Amino acid sequence: MLALTKTFGLFLLTALAELLGCYLPMLWLNGKGSPWLLLPAAISLMAFIWLLTLHPTASGRVYAAYGAVYIAAAICWLWSVDGITPRWTDLGGVGLALAGAAVIVLGSRA
């Protein structure tokens, strides 16, 4: 259980690094921020790549399971950063994605 919690936490950090690394350039491109935002964006994307390397299992399985956590984090970002309340379809999609990730993760342990 501890390993699963650690993996989920690592996925969450990875998703936040990826979201931030993509959000900051978008602010600059939309004229809502300075070009200096590209520096922390690049650092964030490097952290994202590095965090993905910390998992000891097959990369394809890691990316597949991570995708579900990314979907959940993106919907949380929609709510907390963009100020848009998720719809029931957003939450249902997150639930389906996380259920799929659970099948991948738990199935690989058998």
DSSP, residue by residue, 24-77: HHHHHHTTSS-GGGHHHHHHHHHHHHHHHTT--S-HHHHHHHHHHHHHHHHHHH
Can you give the pLDDT at residue 42?
98
The total number of structural domains in the chain stands at 1
The answer to whether 82 and 26 are in contact (CB under 8 A) is no
Can you give the pLDDT at residue 66?
87
Domain that holds residue 49: 2-108
Can you give the pLDDT at residue 92?
98
pLDDT in tens, the chain (110 residues): 677 788 888 889 999 999 999 999 999 999 999 999 999 999 999 999 999 888 767 677 888 888 999 999 999 999 999 999 999 999 999 999 999 988 988 887 76
Whole-number Å distance between alpha carbons of 49 and 13: 11
